[in-house]
Structure 1
Amino acid sequence: MKCPFCGWAQDKVVDSRESKEADSIRRRRECEKCNKRFTTYERIDEIPYMVVKKDGRREKFDRQKVLSGLLHACEKRPVPTGKLGKIVDETEAFVVDSPDRERTTSEIGELIMSHLREMDTVAYIRFASVYRDFKDVREFKAELEELLGSKPRKPTV
């Protein structure tokens, strides 16, 4: 918390009290540089982070929904669940860091696919087939060809 008088970032809490309505905490702080006191209020962040769907609808960001999609894509694949947790954490941080408190599903999907592409190509294709909603085998084949064209092929022995 920056001091409103001198801008110093170090302070100490002198006193904390809950508000009468119990919806916030009042804190008296003292700047460690200029020793002036000031008051801050702490309250729960109640505005949810939103995801804008392809059709324009908005819904709350749901970590569990992201994890569920990743688990389906990585089913029977050698992908550690710890890595999936990191992808979910990074995805949530991406949404939380949004200045408008919302991100589009396309931004979120591309972020997740970039991680899966590096981690496991089969999981990537599974996720992409659902996320990009392939209509037929040609679209699926085009995605595979792009994937194979972007990676150097290992010679078969």
Structure 2
Amino acid sequence: MRCPSCGSLDTQVKDSRPTEDSSAIRRRRLCLACGFRFTTFERVQLRELTVIKRNGRRVPFDRDKLARSIEIALRKRNVDPDRVEQTISRIVRELESIGENEVTAETIGETVMAHLRDLDDVAYVRFASVYRNFREAKDFEQALAELAGEDEDEPGPTRP
């Protein structure tokens, strides 16, 4: 592993432990050249995914890009970072388990929206507004109606 400080390839693992959800291994490393300490994460990758964009272009799947878009949707929301990381890992596992090497951007967007709906309603609407390209207030009203409709379907306390 290359040292982020000096670029040396002479690094040593000092400690390894699984993350809380056991989806990755956290490794503390030491650069033997400059003494810099840093952390890396090792994750299981079931397959190399390629994203088919709406314009037909194919690009490699980027977990970090997915994480950034979710973090933008969750900006200034009080959601536990561990829950966010677990959600991102679940989304990636779900996409990898589809069984195809190529996945459409629409599939990714819909999967993210389904998971954000469970994580945080405001983040769901924020993400949907970009993903579905909201142009008018009625677009937001529709998204909110979808959320409200889902809440009505859930059994609640009955009134006499």
Alpha-carbon deviation of 1:64?
0.5
Match of 2:121 in 1: 121
Identity %: 36
The one-letter amino acid of 1:102's match is: E
The gaps in structure 2 that reach 5 residues or longer are 1-44
Question: Is the CA contact 1:109–1:131 (under 8 Å) kept in the aligned structure 2?
Answer: yes
* Distance in structure 2 (CA, Å) of the matches to 1:70 and 1:150: 21
* Distance in structure 2 (CA, Å) of the matches to 1:139 and 1:114: 18
The one-letter amino acid of 1:68's match is: R
Match of 2:109 in 1: 109
Alpha-carbon deviation of 1:50?
0.5
TM norm structure 2:
0.61
Aligned length: 109
Alpha-carbon deviation of 1:92?
1.9
1:1-157 → structure 2 map (5 Å cutoff): 48-152=48-152
Match of 1:14 in 2: none
Alpha-carbon deviation of 1:77?
0.7
Once the two structures are superposed, residues 117-157 of structure 1 have per-residue CA deviations (whole angstroms, 9 ceiling, x without a partner) of 11210111011111111122121211112212221399xxx
Question: Is the CA contact 2:116–2:123 (under 8 Å) kept in the aligned structure 1?
Answer: yes
Alpha-carbon deviation of 1:108?
1.3
* Distance in structure 2 (CA, Å) of the matches to 1:50 and 1:94: 14
* Distance in structure 2 (CA, Å) of the matches to 1:58 and 1:122: 31
Once the two structures are superposed, residues 45-75 of structure 1 have per-residue CA deviations (whole angstroms, 9 ceiling, x without a partner) of 9x84201112211111001101001111111
* Distance in structure 2 (CA, Å) of the matches to 1:102 and 1:115: 21
Question: Is the CA contact 1:117–1:124 (under 8 Å) kept in the aligned structure 2?
Answer: yes
Question: Is the CA contact 2:91–2:115 (under 8 Å) kept in the aligned structure 1?
Answer: no
Question: Is the CA contact 2:51–2:60 (under 8 Å) kept in the aligned structure 1?
Answer: yes
The alignment's C-alpha RMSD in Å is: 2.2
Structure ID, larger Rg: 1
* Distance in structure 1 (CA, Å) of the matches to 2:97 and 2:76: 33
Runs of 4+ in 1 over 4 A off after TM superposition: none
Question: Is the CA contact 1:51–1:103 (under 8 Å) kept in the aligned structure 2?
Answer: yes
Tell which deviates more after alignment, 59-68 or 79-88: 79-88
The gaps in structure 1 that reach 5 residues or longer are 1-44
Question: Is the CA contact 2:51–2:102 (under 8 Å) kept in the aligned structure 1?
Answer: yes
